[in-house]
Amino acid sequence: MSETLPADGLLGWSWLLIALPLAGAAVLLLGGRRTDRWGHLLGTATVAASFVLAVLCTIQLAGQDGRPADVDLFTFISTGELDVRAGLLFDPLSAIFALLITGVGSLIHVYSIGYMAHDPARRRFFAYLNLFVAAMLLLVLGNSFVALYVGWEGVGLASYLLIAFWYTRPAAATAAKKAFIMNRVGDVGLALAIFVMFAQLGTTSYAGVFGAVGTLAGGTITALGLLLLLGACGKSGQFPLQAWLPDAMEGPTPVSALIHAATMVTAGVYLIARSAPIYDLTETARTVVLAIGALTLLIGAIAGCAYDDIKKVLAYSTVSQIGYMFLAVGLGPAGYVAGLAHLLAHGFFKAGLFLGAGSVMHAMNDQVDMRRFGALAKKLPVTFVTFGLGYLALIGFPFLSGYFTKDAIIEAALDRDDVWGWVLGGVAVLGAGLTAFYMTRLMLMTFFGRARWEEGVHPHESPSVMTAPMVVLAIGSVGAGALLVSVFPLSGWLEPVFGEPEEAAHVVAPAIIGLVVTAVMLVGVLAAWLFVGRREVPVTAPVRVSPVTRAARNALYADAVNESLFMRPGQWLTRALVWVDNRGVDGAVNGLAAGLGGSSSRLGRAQTGFVRSYALGILGGAVLVAGALLAVTAG
């Protein structure tokens, strides 16, 4: 990392980035019904203001050649050897995240004004959404692992509140709890990593840890890498902690777009990229990151092929795409920029796709079953076009966002020039084919074919307050990739963080990779058309299907495994322990009392007799003591 500058100018005010949405949340939560009328506007305004500030800060950062600014705020926890200061680090890496969070966040706030217009609890929704933006900004702007952890659990809370937003629905309440618990499993890893840092290096700040990590033993560095990875897997829905993310779709769709697609779930990628100085020193941990990324990429893509719920397909797509990002950052220096570019592009097109899905649901009385859609292209023209552009960007249609960023990851994998490189590259290419399949299936089932609507549904295009953000995101989906890879290269912007990019010695020429990936993608599209597009889609899912389809519909049995490995044994253990504590431990003590002085039932009977008089005796003694004391003092 390059030398840090004390923050001056606007950067000294960068804490306002967090404070503004936080203040918005506080006003909306404490203000009560009085703020119902304008609460959503305040919520949107504070995030938009943060976005403007983030842009200005980034401009200033660019003016000082990307040298990071450190904003020291106050002493958070200082005792003994531990000294945790609350402070922010505004560097090129946190800047791109701040822009993504506030930019996409603003658009989704605007969209929500329309989407939640008829919800009686709209004010509460905006309060939670503001809370999320504040926590997420703290996560990426904090200058220490403790600050990151505070934001990390803060976004977990916001996610919990928003998944459970319609909490009267048991499914929503359960999904929220599941998300929080599985995230906490990951948080344990992150917490332990912080403990190791303090134990070994005596500090938790980025500057302190990254400056000294090279002095640690190799095993310790690997342990750090793996513990951080556990945290990253929880937050980003990566194997083996992926099962919560699809359930999180119980939340309102703008939440799925912002939190469970564009920003929060990519925090794991941020964590690994931020911790690059640690991962650069541990090949082992990097290999595990790669393996998890590749595995999750496939799990998500396979499950995505089988679901009929439009939001769940998109959710598994997110799981899969974040797998790509993990794969990229797991490659080390060659992959950080590629992974982050894909993260940003994904932020645009996946948020756009979710907003489009929300628009479809809005038109279809909150239906999510794609078997009940069909023929919506003409009814929802704006949604169709914007969604379609996001779709093309995601499957990697030539010269749209995904084409550039996904190919960059595949190139970086192949550039390893070893067996692993070919395996990973192969998995990534295969994933591209699957992505094309499930997304084309989704497009065909939703927008084409025969209308399979339920009775009484009259689809209508969404109001412009909703379509405008979709249009902006669609433009981003089209252009972001080219912009980040060639016009305004992300690798140059991030140079102060990750160092000068090495001139890659390409094993396979990029042009050839592009052709191969495009060909595989077209095969996926064609397959989807063969299986879905040219046949009639039945309104109920066929029951007699191959074991492969059944496994995919069950997301490769992740929930079943979790239930039989953890949930049921846990419940069983809890019941057994309750029994033991009531009969065993308590009984033993009562029994001991019985052995010493009579039957244990006498314990109950003693109430009237001697205990009470004993208690009064003690009280009498205490009064005497007090009296004696007074006498002494007076005398």
Partner 1 sequence: MSVVDLSRKGHLVSDLPFLLLMIAVPAVGAAVVAALPKGRDELAKQVSLGVSLVVLLLAVLATIAFDTGGDRFQLTSSWTWIADFGVSFALGVDGIALVMLLLVGVLVPVVIGASWNDELPERRSMTAYFAWLLLLESMMVGVFAATDVFLFYVFFEAMLVPMYFIIGSFGGPRRQYAAVKFFLYSLVGGLIMLAAVIGLYVVSNSQLGEGTFAFDALRQLEIDPGVQKLLFLGFFIAFAIKAPLVPFHTWLPDSGSEAPIGGAVLLVGILDKVGTFGFLRYCLPLFPDASRFFAPFVLVLAVVGILYAALLAMGQSDMKRLVSYTSISHFGFIALGIFAFTTEAATGAVLYMVNHGIATGLLFLVVGMLIARGGSRQIRDYGGVAAKAPLLAGTFLVAGLASLALPGTNSFVSEFLVLIGSFPEEPVFTILATAGIILAALYILLMYQRTMHGPARGVLLQEDPAEPAPATGGGATATLAAPRRSLRVLDLSRRELAVVTPLVVLIIALGVYPQPLLELIEPAVSATMSDLGGTD
Q: Which of residues 81-140 bind partner 1 (CB under 8 A)?
A: 81-82
- Tell me the C-alpha distance between 231 and 187, whole Å: 5
- Which residue stretch of 63-71, 270-278, 436-444, 582-590 sits at the interface with partner 1 (rule: CB under 8 A)? 582-590
Site string for partner 1, 138-157 (x = CB under 8 A): --------x--xx-xxx--x
Q: Which residue of 89, 98, 164, 303 would you call a contact of partner 1, by CB under 8 A?
A: 164
- Judged by CB, which is closer to partner 1: 11, or 138? 138
Specify the DSSP element, H or E, that contains 77. strand 69-79
Q: Is 335 helix (H, G, I), strand (E, B) or coil?
A: coil
Chain mean position to CA 453: 33
Q: Is 91 helix (H, G, I), strand (E, B) or coil?
A: coil
- Judged by CB, which is closer to partner 1: 560, or 626? 626
**Residues 229, 189 contacting (CB under 8 angstroms):** yes
For 282-295, b/e burial (b = at least 16 CB within 10 A) is beebbebbbbbbbb
- Judged by CB, which is closer to partner 1: 177, or 553? 177
Which residue's entry shows tokens 């900004």? 137
* Amino acid code (one letter) for 20: L
Q: Which residue of 38, 195, 399, 488 would you call a contact of partner 1, by CB under 8 A?
A: 195
Other CB atoms closer than 10 Å to residue 487's CB: what's the count? 8
- Judged by CB, which is closer to partner 1: 381, or 627? 627
- Judged by CB, which is closer to partner 1: 230, or 313? 230
- Quick check: 72 binds partner 1 (CB under 8 A)? no
CB of 192 to partner 1, least distance (A): 6
- Judged by CB, which is closer to partner 1: 16, or 375? 16
- Kindly determine how many residues on this chain lie close enough to bind partner 1 according to the rule CB under 8 A: 71
Q: Which residue of 287, 464, 564, 574 would you call a contact of partner 1, by CB under 8 A?
A: 574
- Which residue stretch of 245-253, 431-439, 539-547, 574-582 sits at the interface with partner 1 (rule: CB under 8 A)? 574-582
- Tell me the C-alpha distance between 367 and 362, whole Å: 8
Other CB atoms closer than 10 Å to residue 31's CB: what's the count? 15
- Judged by CB, which is closer to partner 1: 38, or 195? 195
Q: Which residue of 167, 399, 488, 557 would you call a contact of partner 1, by CB under 8 A?
A: 167
**How deeply is 49 buried, as exposed, middle or buried, from its count of CB atoms within 10 A (0-12, 13-18, 19+)?**
middle
CB of 286 to partner 1, least distance (A): 24
Task: Copy the structure tokens of residue 155.
Answer: 């976004």
- Quick check: 515 binds partner 1 (CB under 8 A)? no
In terms of phi and psi (left: phi > 0; alpha: psi -120 to 50; beta: otherwise), the region of 443 is alpha
Residue list 605-634, contact with partner 1 (CB under 8 A)? 606-607, 611-612, 614-616, 618-619, 621-622, 625-626, 628-629, 632-633
In terms of phi and psi (left: phi > 0; alpha: psi -120 to 50; beta: otherwise), the region of 251 is beta
Q: Which residue of 70, 187, 247, 411 would you call a contact of partner 1, by CB under 8 A?
A: 187
> At 369, phi and psi to the nearest 5?
-80, 115
Which residue's entry shows tokens 């190139």? 411
- Judged by CB, which is closer to partner 1: 41, or 616? 616
Which residue's entry shows tokens 């009267």? 168
Residue list 589-608, contact with partner 1 (CB under 8 A)? 589, 593, 603-604, 606-607
Residue list 14-53, contact with partner 1 (CB under 8 A)? 29
- Quick check: 8 binds partner 1 (CB under 8 A)? no
Q: Which residue of 19, 185, 430, 526 would you call a contact of partner 1, by CB under 8 A?
A: 185
- Tell me the C-alpha distance between 1 and 30, whole Å: 42
- Tell me the C-alpha distance between 474 and 355, whole Å: 10
- Quick check: 568 binds partner 1 (CB under 8 A)? no
Q: Which residue of 399, 550, 575, 595 would you call a contact of partner 1, by CB under 8 A?
A: 575
- Which residue stretch of 45-53, 194-202, 303-311, 435-443 sits at the interface with partner 1 (rule: CB under 8 A)? 194-202
Q: In whole angstroms, how far apart are CA 314 and each of 7, 163, 307, 351, 396?
A: 40, 16, 10, 10, 16
- Quick check: 522 binds partner 1 (CB under 8 A)? no
Specify the DSSP element, H or E, that contains 416. none
Q: Which residue of 16, 181, 482, 526 would you call a contact of partner 1, by CB under 8 A?
A: 181
Task: Copy the structure tokens of residue 525.
Answer: 């599209």
How does DSSP assign 33-71, residue by residue?
Answer: GGGTTTHHHHHHHHHHHHHHHHHHHHHHHHHTTT--EEE
Q: Which residue of 49, 196, 226, 541 would you call a contact of partner 1, by CB under 8 A?
A: 196
CA atoms within 13 A on the CB side of 384: 17
- Judged by CB, which is closer to partner 1: 504, or 618? 618
Which residue's entry shows tokens 């995101």? 473
**Residues 151, 132 contacting (CB under 8 angstroms):** no
Q: Which residue of 3, 37, 118, 170 would you call a contact of partner 1, by CB under 8 A?
A: 170
Q: Which residue of 191, 276, 310, 370 would you call a contact of partner 1, by CB under 8 A?
A: 191
Sign of the alpha-carbon torsion through 153, 159, 164, 170: negative
Q: Which residue of 41, 512, 560, 577 would you call a contact of partner 1, by CB under 8 A?
A: 577
Instruction: Single out the residue of 321, 353, 164, 131 nearest to residue 242, CA to CA.
Output: 321
Residue list 211-240, contact with partner 1 (CB under 8 A)? none
Q: Which residue of 581, 599, 613, 627 would you call a contact of partner 1, by CB under 8 A?
A: 581
- Tell me the C-alpha distance between 89 and 208, whole Å: 13
- Quick check: 488 binds partner 1 (CB under 8 A)? no
- Which residue stretch of 70-78, 212-220, 313-321, 551-559 sits at the interface with partner 1 (rule: CB under 8 A)? 70-78
- Which residue stretch of 46-54, 92-100, 189-197, 488-496 sits at the interface with partner 1 (rule: CB under 8 A)? 189-197
Q: Which residue of 80, 456, 538, 547 would you call a contact of partner 1, by CB under 8 A?
A: 80
CB of 575 to partner 1, least distance (A): 6
